[in-house]
Every structure is written in C-alpha cells, then in structure tokens.
Amino acid sequence: MSKNLVIVESPTKAKTISKILGDDFRVVSSMGHIIDLPAKKLGVDVEDKFKPTYVVIPGKKKILAQLKKEAKGKENIYIATDPDREGEAIGWQIKEKLFKGKNVLRVSFHEITPHAVAEAFKNAREFDRHMIEAQVGRRVLDRMVGYFLSPLLWKKIARGLSAGRVQSVGLRLIAERERQIQKFTASEYWEISAELFKPKVSGESNFCAKLEKIENQKAEIKRNQDAQSICDQLKDKEFKVLEIKKTEKKRYPPAPFITSTMQQEAFNKLRFNASKTMLIAQQLYEGIDIGEDNPVGLITYMRTDSPNVAAEAILEVREHIGRSFGKDFLPEKPNVFKAKKSAQEAHEAIRPSYICRSPESLKDFLNHDQIRLYELIYNRFLASQMKPAEFLATSVDILADKYLFVANGSHLLFEGFLAAYNKIQTEEKEEEEDEDKEKAKNVVPPLEQGELLGLKALNPSQHFTKPPPRFSDSSLIKALEEEGIGRPSTYAPIIYTIILRDYVRRIRGYLNPTELGFKVNDLLVEYFPKIIDVKFTALIEEKLDEVAEGTLSHVKILEDFYLPFKESLDFAQANIVKEVVTTDQLCDKCGKPLIVKWGRRGKFLSCSAFPECKNSKSITSGVKCGIENCGGELIERRSKRGFFYGCSNFPKCTFTSRDLPEDKE
Ligand SMILES: [Zn+2]
Ligand SMILES: [Zn+2]
C-alpha cells in the first residue's frame, strides 16, 4: 500500500500526476469544489468580521467520506490543487474539513511534467494564509452583492433574477456601448484614390495613391458632387513625385500568452468564445492520452497574468528555434517581457510543456479544437523568443496642382517571428494588421524625385463614419483588462454569466444587451452607482492583490465596502417600486388593459386587474414553430441554462431553438 495520499480537484489531473509519481503515491480527486457558502443563506456574519460559514455542497458528502477513508494509514497527505488563490482556498478547505490538526502539506506546480511535479514535492509547504484570505475576501464580497441585490431586482423587474459584482460592471460596459451605438448618426464622406504608373516603363507598374491634402489642408470631402468636381479638375493635371520617404521598421514579437491574451487571440483567430478557450486549455493542461505513456500534460497552467517563462523552457525553445528556423531567427539574448504591476511573479506564461511535441506530432491524439488551440499556444511561444520582423516602408508624396496624394507601400525585408506566428489564418483581422496588408499589396515601383507619372484612373469612393463596434469576447476582455477589472480566473465567467442570465446575447460573435439586460443595468446604475463603478471595482481588485501579498487584511476591505453598500441598499429597499409597462391591448376576459410583466421564464402580458383576473398571454416573436403542422409561434424563454426560443403550444409541443430561424415570412 502506498504511504502517501495526494488530493487534486479533477480525475484527469489525478491520472496524469499518478503516472508521474508512481506506486508510492495514491492520487485521488475531490471532483471539484466540495465546500462552499450555503446556497440559500447569506452564510456571512456581517456582525463578526464577515466570517463565512462553509457547508459541504449537497451531493458531495460521499466524496468527503471517500477521501477520509483514503487518508487512513497514510503517512503523508499532500494537496495539489491548482496553483492559484482558488486552488489554495479549495485545498485549505479540504484540510480544515477533513484533516484538521493533521500534517497536511501543500504542493503547487504550473505544469504537470515529471520535473515540475518532483520540484513541487521537494518544496512541499504550509498553506499560504494570505492567498486564502484574498480568495475568501473575493468570495464574501461577491456573495454579499449577489445576495442583497437580487431581491431588489425581483421587486422591480422579475423573480429569479440575479446580479453579481464584477459581472454587473461587464454588463454596464456592454449596455453603455449599445447606447452610444443607438445615439450615433453616420455621416457621409468620400475618398479619392489615383491609379498611377511610370510612363516610360514597359510592363506593369501600376500603383495606388490616396488624396490626403488639398492646399495643405486635410482633404475632407463630404458629398459626391464635390468628389466628382475634384476628379474633373484632376483629369488633365500633371502628377509629379514630390518626396520619397523610406523607413525601416521593426515589428517586435508578442509576449507568450497569458489568460487574457490567449482568450483574445483564440477569439480573433479561431472564433472560440472565452469559456470554450478555457475549457480546452484546461484539457491540455490536465493531460491528454497521446499513445505511449498516458496521459500527458501538454501546456502550463492556463490561469495566469504573468508572461514569465522558466529558464529551462527558454533554453529548450532557443535550441528548437535555432534548429528549425536557423540561427538568423534567434536573438542574441532571450526576449524578456514585463509583467503588469498586479501580476503574480511566481506564475508563468501559458506555453507548451514540451517544445519537442509539435502540433503535427499530436494530430492523431488531439481533437480538432484541441489541436487548433495547442497550435496557437505553441506558435505564439516560439514567436515570442524569435527576432523581430523587418519592413521597408515607402511613403511617396505626389503633387497634382493643389492636390497632394500619398502612396504607401511596405516591403518585408526579414520575416523574423512571423515565420512562426503567421501560419495560423486569422478569421477576423485587427485593424492595424489590415492596414499593413493593404500597404504590402500596393507595390510602389522605384521612383525619383521630380518624376512625372501617368494617370490611369481616378477612383472616388463613398464611405460613412461608423459607430463604435459592439464588444466581442475579445474586445470586452481587452477592455476589462485595461480597466483593471477581473483577473485570469474571472474573464470567462463574467461573459458566461451575463449570457446565461440573458442580460446579453452573443449574436454572430458580438455581445448585444437584451431589454432585460438594460433594465437590470439601469436599476443598478441608478441605485448602486458606486458598486458597479469601473474605477471602484478596479480598486477592489488591487486591494485583493494586496491581501494576497499580505499587506492588507481582507476584513478591512469588507468593512470599507459594507457600510456605504448598506446605505445604498437601505435607500433602494425603501424606494424601489415595481415598474408597470402598459400596452394598448385589452384583456379578452374582462376588458381591462394588459400590462407587460417579467416572470422567471421571460416577458409576458398580464391583465392589469390581477389578482382578480388571472388572464395572461405570451408575447410571441411572430415566427412559426419549427415543427410542421404545429401552428404554434416561437416565444422568448429563459431557463437556468440560459436563453432560448420555445413553442407557444408548450407543453403539447416541446420544440426549442437557440436562435430564431432566419426566414420570417
Ligand atoms: Zn382580465
Ligand atoms: Zn410547436
């Protein structure tokens, strides 16, 4: 029998670690959280230092008993939950609940490799009290906000709604952006480009130049007729090269992934939403069967805000680059990337655990999504340790009468890191990249100052100013990170939660607030402006970081938070009244007007004489049910698993759909 017990939180991870540790260690899984705040009570004593009361999660008693049994007769108990605050807290709760007073040690590693695991066991330690406190502080804050705010939403809008602390700030950003879009009025403008060529050269020498200035003023053309009249004036003018500017530009490789950048790139390049990215990354981290010795952890831990890379991994990747791409692609010294102030230095960037395991070599063992994310992580890591790409940018000023045209071209001199990172096709390009590509397409021939050019065509084009774009998973995470809201463990859950509650819908990749989302947001902004203030939320995140470092007590944060929060709460409780939305429809039973009500499952029409008249009606989308001959219409519904369309003939017809069929006729 093995002398040692190791507890982790997932069965796959247990299997991967067990293979590494061998027969002396018995590795078991807690199957996720087993202890948490109670589901139906506050579970926090606001009178006594905000002490939380933890309970065993229903259904987890059996696992608890199993763990206890496993521990019998073991000399050492180790807890190897994930290497972050949440992992530290889960581990500590297991220790407190099951092994109080016993010698239980914490081991943590950022990748599940023989080397990292061995090192971790060599450095087995006591639990980090500060990390645990930071996690408790976050959990208690979130619990208080959710527990006290939700009933106010029920009072004003509908039963069953809920609001979270950081999610509400995410919702606020999305709702505010939508209002900017609604208010936006597009204005028309025109651009003129000239297709030019070298008259004395045979063969293709066509290139494009754009009208930039008129009489030294920025060209601003508002209407078609103005564009036409400029073209008419230009037709027989001389186009003369005024100045040629050539500059060498370097594009530096990006840092290896941290959680936020991985989520952004996986959305931009693979169209994965943030939750999907995290799910797949977790599979790659915990271990995958790859034939010979199963399973194997393929990447480092996926929740991190540090771009640091272990020294051994740097050595390996440099050797690999030298071998696969050539010495020219290898910088003299390793590239170093700076972490943000708040980043936890002990963490590492997300990178492949074994650089020798190329994406190609794993193609037979990983599924399509796994291989695509692995490839992205792998190539990004390679790129991060390669030389910059070098371009020669050419900008030519061309004068025709009072009109100044500029031709931009760009020529790749040295591929550098692009040799590794450009392989993956981008589905949605960033604006900057777009511009670069346009320049690269425009081949400006060798020109001389004073040279006269031939005019092939003038192309006026109509444009409209655009409203700010809706947020995508990628741009929302970027915004949250820039504002200092959220942490590696929270970006994906923020988006997931507001979609689950149907405050936001993801339509063709973009986040659209719903009517319900606007209502919830407006209530929170009106009564709790501070709680969902962007700067305030960022400040709390910073303070939680201080708790984790041991320079601040979590009780202090909670005290500072609770008093003003309680004041807003009392005011809201006294002043919030149910909102009544009238309609011009009349009740077909009693003739009184119908009003719009929100229920647990969505919006519906109710008789205003309720409870005397209990008549109610669904609000249909007008779109026919997908089942032939059903005759029902689709109705918006909400459930615990999010938003969907259901049939008006429910329960007779159980047709459901995530989106409305396109054909509305
Ligand atoms: Zn009625
Ligand atoms: Zn139906």
Bigger pLDDT: 437 or 61? 61
Q: Are 477 and 170 spatial neighbours (Cβ–Cβ below 8 Å)?
A: no
Measured from the Cβ of residue 503, the count of other Cβ atoms closer than 10 Å reads: 28
What is residue 428's predicted lDDT score, i.e. its pLDDT? 42
CA of 633 to the centre of ligand 1 (A): 23
Per-residue pLDDT, averaged over 588-617, amounts to 88
What is residue 430's predicted lDDT score, i.e. its pLDDT? 46
Q: Which numbered ligand comes closest to the C-alpha of 630?
A: 2
> Distance between CA 478 and CA 495 in Å, rounded?
13
User: What are residue 586's phi and psi, to 5 degrees?
Assistant: -110, 150
- Per-residue pLDDT reduced to its tens digit, 274-286: 999 999 999 999 9
E strand or H helix at 443? none
Half-sphere exposure (Cβ direction) of 598: Cα atoms closer than 13 Å: 20
Query: Which of 482, 84, 436, 83 has its CA nearest to residue 264?
Result: 482
> Distance between CA 533 and CA 166 in Å, rounded?
10
CA of 649 to the centre of ligand 2 (A): 6
E strand or H helix at 436? helix 431-441
Q: Are 136 and 127 spatial neighbours (Cβ–Cβ below 8 Å)?
A: no
Per-residue pLDDT, averaged over 606-617, amounts to 90
Sign of CA dihedral 429, 433, 439, 442: negative
CA of 628 to the centre of ligand 2 (A): 8
> Distance between CA 622 and CA 616 in Å, rounded?
17
Domains defined for the chain, CATH in brackets? 4-127 (3.40.50.140), 148-183+470-575 (1.10.460.10), 188-251+390-464 (2.70.20.10), 259-268+290-384 (1.10.290.10), 581-657 (no CATH)
Measured from the Cβ of residue 389, the count of other Cβ atoms closer than 10 Å reads: 21
- Which residues are close to ligand 2, an ion, with C-beta < 5 A? 625, 627, 630, 632, 647, 649, 653, 655
- Per-residue pLDDT reduced to its tens digit, 626-648: 888 888 889 888 887 888 888 98
The yes-or-no answer on residue 252 being catalytic is: no
SS3 for 170? helix
Contacts of 591 (CB under 8 A, 6+ apart): none
CA of 624 to the centre of ligand 2 (A): 8
Measured from the Cβ of residue 206, the count of other Cβ atoms closer than 10 Å reads: 14
CA of 613 to the centre of ligand 1 (A): 5
- Per-residue pLDDT reduced to its tens digit, 6-51: 999 999 999 999 999 999 999 999 998 889 999 889 999 999 999 9
CA of 152 to the centre of ligand 1 (A): 27
- Per-residue pLDDT reduced to its tens digit, 578-590: 878 888 989 999 9
Q: Which numbered ligand comes closest to the C-alpha of 623?
A: 2
CA of 604 to the centre of ligand 2 (A): 18
Cis ω for the linkage preceding 513 (within 30 of 0) = no
What value, to the nearest 5°, has the Cα angle with vertex 315 and ends 309 and 318?
100
Query: Which of 415, 254, 411 has its CA nearest to residue 329?
Result: 415
Per-residue pLDDT, averaged over 283-291, amounts to 93
Model confidence at 213, pLDDT cuts 50, 70, 90, reads very high
Query: Which of 464, 370, 405, 9 has its CA nearest to residue 195?
Result: 405
CA of 629 to the centre of ligand 2 (A): 8
Q: Which numbered ligand comes closest to the C-alpha of 626?
A: 2
CA of 511 to the centre of ligand 2 (A): 28
What is residue 425's predicted lDDT score, i.e. its pLDDT? 45
> Distance between CA 636 and CA 645 in Å, rounded?
5
Sign of CA dihedral 365, 370, 373, 374: negative
Q: Which tokens is 387 given?
A: 């030389």
What is residue 553's predicted lDDT score, i.e. its pLDDT? 96
Q: Where are the alpha helices (DSSP H) in 103-160?
A: 114-122, 129-156
What is residue 431's predicted lDDT score, i.e. its pLDDT? 46
Question: What value does the mean pLDDT of the chain take?
Answer: 91
CA of 634 to the centre of ligand 2 (A): 8
> Distance between CA 79 and CA 5 in Å, rounded?
8
CA of 633 to the centre of ligand 2 (A): 7
Residue 262 has pLDDT above 90, yes or no: yes
Residue 454 has pLDDT above 80, yes or no: yes
Q: Which tokens is 85 given?
A: 């605050």
Q: Pick the catalytic residue from 301, 374, 496, 527.
A: 301
Contacts of 312 (CB under 8 A, 6+ apart): 115
Residue 662 has pLDDT above 70, yes or no: no
Residue 77 has pLDDT above 70, yes or no: yes
Q: Which numbered ligand comes closest to the C-alpha of 593?
A: 1
Q: Which numbered ligand comes closest to the C-alpha of 620?
A: 2
Per-residue pLDDT, averaged over 353-360, amounts to 96
Per-residue pLDDT, averaged over 129-145, amounts to 96
Query: Which of 160, 138, 122, 142 has its CA nearest to residue 89?
Result: 138
Contacts of 359 (CB under 8 A, 6+ apart): 371, 374, 375, 378, 379
Per-residue pLDDT, averaged over 233-255, amounts to 94
SS3 per residue for 292-343: CCCCECCECCCCCCCCCCCHHHHHHHHHHHHHHCCHHHCCCCCCCCCCCCCC
Measured from the Cβ of residue 257, the count of other Cβ atoms closer than 10 Å reads: 26
Half-sphere exposure (Cβ direction) of 655: Cα atoms closer than 13 Å: 20
The fraction of the chain above a pLDDT of 90, given in percent, is 77
Residue 129 has pLDDT above 60, yes or no: yes
Per-residue pLDDT, averaged over 182-186, amounts to 96
Q: Which numbered ligand comes closest to the C-alpha of 587?
A: 1
> Distance between CA 516 and CA 160 in Å, rounded?
12
What is residue 432's predicted lDDT score, i.e. its pLDDT? 47
Q: Which tokens is 384 given?
A: 């991060």
Query: Which of 155, 163, 160 has its CA nearest to residue 573?
Result: 155
For residue 643, the 8-state DSSP code is E
What is residue 345's predicted lDDT score, i.e. its pLDDT? 57
Per-residue pLDDT, averaged over 561-578, amounts to 93
Strands 188-197 and 239-251, by their bridges, are unpaired
Q: Which tokens is 187 given?
A: 């204005």
Q: Which numbered ligand comes closest to the C-alpha of 611?
A: 1
Query: Which of 392, 250, 388 has its CA nearest to residue 331?
Result: 388
CA of 500 to the centre of ligand 2 (A): 24
> Distance between CA 283 and CA 113 in Å, rounded?
15
Residue 657 has pLDDT above 60, yes or no: yes
What is residue 627's predicted lDDT score, i.e. its pLDDT? 86
Rg (CA), the chain: 31
> Distance between CA 418 and CA 423 in Å, rounded?
8
b/e map 435-469, b = 16+ CB within 10 Å: ebeebeebebbebeeebebebeebebeeeeeeeee
- Per-residue pLDDT reduced to its tens digit, 493-550: 999 999 999 999 999 999 999 999 999 999 999 999 999 999 999 999 999 999 999 9
Contacts of 21 (CB under 8 A, 6+ apart): 6, 27, 117, 121
- Per-residue pLDDT reduced to its tens digit, 462-498: 999 999 999 999 999 999 999 999 889 999 999 999 9
Q: Which tokens is 272 given?
A: 């994965």
CA of 575 to the centre of ligand 1 (A): 29
Half-sphere exposure (Cβ direction) of 121: Cα atoms closer than 13 Å: 18
Half-sphere exposure (Cβ direction) of 662: Cα atoms closer than 13 Å: 2
